[in-house]
Chain A
Amino acid sequence: MTRLSRVLMTVAAIGMRTGMACADTLFVSDERDNTVTVLDGTSLKIVKAIPVGRRPRGIVITPDFKEVLVCAGDDNRIDVIDTATLAITRSLNPGPDPETLGLSPSGKTVYIANEDDSMLSMLDRASGKLIGRIAVGIEPEGVAINADETMAVVVSESSSMAHFFDPHTQKLIANVLVDTRPRVVEFTPDQRHVWVASEVGGTVAVINSASKAVERKISFDIPSVRSEFIQPEGIRFVPATNTVFVALGRANHVAVVGLQDYQVQGYIEVGRRVWQIGLSRDAKTLYAVNGLTNDVSVIDVPTRSVRQTITVGKLPWGIAIAP
């Protein structure tokens, strides 16, 4: 493909995005290719592969959908992508080895898990200035911040803990032991619980946000899959259907769980080592990122079936979605 045709395709895609209100744009971080693959949500075609820093993993979009932030762990930086031009506009310095990140609901503060030095860093997004650093457990990873930004949680993989902290005082509130190697944490839509996915433990812990007690542990059982391969990763809540989708890693399935009763309702087979999952803005489509098959499974939420599979870059890891 010539450079000119690539530019034209990009321009056409941007035109399409702005012209069609419900067409999402997907941004997928490709850990091995050092790119972010941009896909058009309607045509499911690749719009662009944006070269970013080395080993891109954690990826989020700002609440105004104007910027996508991606951690480039091996370059110790966060690249900021303008969602209109699909170009990197600047980079933030988050401290060593940022694996993944969270964004406050206001979009003002970036929370970064510094995997190699057991710290959580907080940056002001606009200025890129460091606001604070909190010592947490070993190999911090997933970060979640509640809606009114009074409480945040980071999980540490090697310590197997969920660390609750106050973003304002930057002090730890509670450290909750969960099953081994927790990687992802999310607040429920009503903010009353956090769900923590433990990769090696094979469970999702439901922790009460107020008492910090583990109220429930959700286990998964797929008859055709060895139990060790059930490795919960990405979590997406779909309040409209009262369900939660949980990616199960090397089990190559996404589980559907009841949001209220915690019962597993079914499993959807996807590509190999499904990692993070993203939900379309209309909550009708789920995108499952499959690390080892280098693709994204497009799941129809109402029918719980895979509609299509799209090839992206090598070792895709995370996903962010813009309207």
Chain B
Amino acid sequence: MDSQHLRGRSEEEELVMRCCSLQVAAAVALMAAVAVHVENAAEASQPPTATLVYLSRESPRDPRVSLTEPVVAEYGWLGARFGVSELNTNGRFLGKRFELLKIIVSAQEDIRSRVRRVLNTHPALMVADLASADLLAVADLNEAKGSVIIDARTSDDALRGSQCRSSVFHVLPSWEMRANALTDFLVGKGWRRWLLLNGSTADDLAYTDALRRTARAAGAIIVSEASLPASDAASSLTQAQVDTRLESVTRTVSPYDVVLVTDFAGAVGERVMFNTAFSRLVAGTQGLRAIAWDPQFHDFAARGFEYRFVQFAAREMSERDYGNWLAVNVLGEAVLRGGVTEPAAVRAFLRSSRFSVAAFKGEPLNFRSTDQQLRQPILLFGSKVLLRLTPADTHGETAGAAGRSPCNLGAASTG
């Protein structure tokens, strides 16, 4: 891609890791990161082999559930930056260099005009740390035609189905893949009777919907459904009132084995366990969770990977950080191993049998050709330990069979 052009057009954007810039060098020194290699000024003055465009939007929401949690800034962005710093360590031995162009729009800003200014009809390699609506807005821009957009953040089934786009690749597991992993485990244990409790956000509702579909397909029975009491600042409920409501919604006539809760914000979801009317297990966004990353995961060299991230970022890696790290690495594989940088060639490489990426899951991962979703094992985590690792080929291979509109981007080219 035309890196020079991108740089020329984006003076207001922050160019990080012009490998590695003074800013990063200072950050690295500050955090005493030992795994990060800062390249010298002479190398930094050379044009990069590839420029990756990072897109995100500021969020006013404080994601903390407990006030003892540290205030964390830069979810996602530090994952992407960590990915580029490691790619540059590798690239140094191969004479290749990556640059990360940071575009974070404010809460109310129109993302399309910002991206238009940067791209100006030149296709790019993008890491989209965006929610679904922003992602689609960017993917549908005329200026983004021919770009490769790695969805580093969503699990949205619609983006992998009726709203799929040929330029978009997804690295985190979809709601359906997560629901499949949970369902397989629960049904395997014989816990087929479920009570569904959903939160109010789009993600909460979409995950609940995926659980309904997988339950139906696997023969699980949803005995009852209810919405969780509101947990946002506008809610006037006291904590005691929330607990009483939970007790009430879980006192059903029909017996159930498990409560499936979806509350990503967590303020109410975290209270479900131990506030149920009967002594029942909890799964979903709390209790047993189907996830792509947990800082406690230590198999397949994941321990060393998490350690390096903590050295780099001075905090634990969130799933969103992991998604961004993985998105950067997917593009890195295309550049370093595939030897391609033009978006059209990158897309062909990612869809070919030559592509795979190692992501600390014990096996090489690749994209499903129909919806460009990365196949991957899913972690089932209860508390501190990995309970199960579900194999990559057991969930989501029959997308559409569980009752949603399929995407069909065609078979992979033989590349």
| A contacts, CB < 8 Å to B | 96-97, 115-118, 135, 137-139, 157-161, 163, 172, 175, 177, 180-181, 200-202, 226, 228-229, 231, 250
Contact = CB atoms under 8 A, between A and B. Distances in A.
B90 A115 contact: no
Contacts of B307: 116
29 contacts: A97-B304, A116-B35, A116-B304, A116-B307, A135-B37, A137-B90, A137-B93, A138-B89, A138-B308, A157-B301, A158-B305, A159-B90, A163-B93, A177-B94, A177-B336, A180-B364, A181-B301, A181-B358, A200-B358, A200-B364, A201-B356, A201-B364, A202-B364, A226-B391, A226-B393, A228-B363, A228-B364, A228-B391, A229-B363
B35 A138 contact: yes
A118 B93 contact: no
B315 interface: no
B90 A161 contact: yes
A97 B303 CA distance: 12
A135 to B, nearest CB: 7
Contacts of B364: 180, 200-202, 228
B37 A175 contact: no
Contacts of B64: none
B397 to A, nearest CB: 14
A138 B391 contact: no
A172 B34 contact: no
A197 to B, nearest CB: 14
B337 interface: yes
B358 A118 contact: no
Given A117-B34, A138-B86, A172-B93, A200 B337 contact: no
A116 B309 CA distance: 11
Given A137-B89, A226-B393, 11 more contacts: A116-B35, A118-B37, A137-B90, A137-B93, A138-B35, A158-B86, A159-B90, A163-B93, A175-B94, A228-B362, A228-B391
A292 to B, nearest CB: 11
Contacts of B206: none
Contacts of A201: 356, 358, 364
A161 B35 CA distance: 16
A180 B358 contact: yes
Interface string B299-334: 001001101100100000000000000000000000
A228 B358 CA distance: 11
Contacts of B37: 118, 135
Nearest to B85: A138
Contacts of B393: 226
B392 interface: yes
A96 B304 CA distance: 12
Contacts of B363: 200, 228-229
Contacts of A97: 304
Q: What are the 8 tightest A-B residue pairs by CB atom distance, in nearest-first order? A: A228-B363, A175-B93, A180-B358, A159-B90, A117-B34, A200-B358, A200-B364, A181-B358
B34 A161 contact: no
A117 B35 contact: yes
A127 to B, nearest CB: 25
A216 B364 CA distance: 20
Interface string B87-100: 00110011000000
A139 B304 contact: yes
A183 to B, nearest CB: 9
A228 B90 contact: no
A116 B393 CA distance: 32
Given A116-B304, A138-B86, A139-B301, A200 B93 contact: no
Interface in B16-34: 34
Nearest to A183: B301
A283 to B, nearest CB: 32
Given A117-B34, A117-B35, A180-B356, A228 B89 contact: no
Given A117-B34, A158-B305, A250 B89 contact: no
Contact of A228 (B93, B336, B392): B392
Contacts of A231: 362
Contacts of A202: 364
A157 B362 CA distance: 12
A22 B357 CA distance: 46
A115 B304 contact: yes
B109 to A, nearest CB: 36
A158 B93 CA distance: 13
A61 to B, nearest CB: 26
A55 to B, nearest CB: 10
A137 B90 CA distance: 6
A201 B311 CA distance: 27
A229 B90 CA distance: 26
Contacts of A135: 37
A137 B362 CA distance: 20
Nearest to A181: B358
A137 B88 CA distance: 10
Contacts of B357: 180
Contacts of B362: 200, 228, 231, 250
A215 to B, nearest CB: 18
B89 A118 contact: yes
A226 B357 CA distance: 18
Interface in B385-403: 391-393
